[in-house]
Amino acid sequence: MSDEVPSVWRERLRSPLTWHYAGFAVLLLVVIGLGIRVGLDWKATNGHSNDVLASKVVELKAMELQTAPLRGLDARVEDTRKAMRAFYDKRIPPDYSTISGRISELGVASGVRLTRVQYTQGKAGPDLTEITMEAGLSGDYTQIMRFINSLERDQTFFLIRSMALAGQQGGQVNLRLQVSTWLRHADAEASGLPTAGQAGTAAADGTGQAGAGLGGATSGGRGGE
Is pLDDT at 222 greater than 60 in this prediction?
no
Average pLDDT in the chain: 79
Q: What is the pLDDT of residue 67?
A: 76
Look at residues 178, 114, 118, 179 and name the one whose alpha carbon lies nearest to residue 143.
114
pLDDT band at 210; cut points 50, 70, 90: very low
CA 79/CA 29 separation, integer angstroms: 75
Range picked from 73-87, 128-142, 196-210 for highest mean pLDDT: 128-142
Contact 173, 144 (CB under 8 A): yes
Cβ neighbour number for residue 142 with a 10 Å cutoff = 11
Task: Give the number of other CB atoms < 10 A from CB of residue 137.
Answer: 26
Residue 68: the pLDDT is: 75
pTM: 0.60
Angle between helices 96-110 and 141-153 (to 10 degrees): 140
Distance from C-alpha of 175 to C-alpha of 162, rounded to nearest angstrom:
10
- pLDDT recorded at residue 3: 54
pLDDT at residue 162 tops 90: yes
HSE-CB at 9 with a 13 A cutoff on CA atoms is: 4
Confidence class for position 220, pLDDT limits 50, 70, 90: very low
Give the separation between CA 148 and CA 64, rounded to whole angstroms.
49
In this structure, the strands spanning 113-124 and 159-169 are unpaired
CA distance 183 to 191: 9
Between residues 35 and 123, the one the model is more confident about:
123
- How would residue 19 be classed by pLDDT, with cut points 50, 70 and 90? low
SS (H, E, C) 171-183: CEEEEEEEEEEEE
Q: What is the pLDDT of residue 28?
A: 76
21 to each of 11, 16, 120, 153, 155, how far by Cα in Å?
15, 9, 110, 107, 107
- The pLDDT-based confidence of 9 (bands split at 50, 70, 90) is low
pLDDT at 13: 60
Domain 94-221, CATH 3.30.70.60 — does that match? yes
| Res 123 pLDDT > 70 | yes
pLDDT value of position 73: 74
Higher local confidence (pLDDT), 119 or 55: 119
CA distance 153 to 147: 10
pLDDT at 7: 64
Q: What is the predicted pLDDT for the residue at 167?
A: 87
Would you list the DSSP string of 88-115?
HHHHS-SSHHHHHHHHHHHHHHHT-EEE
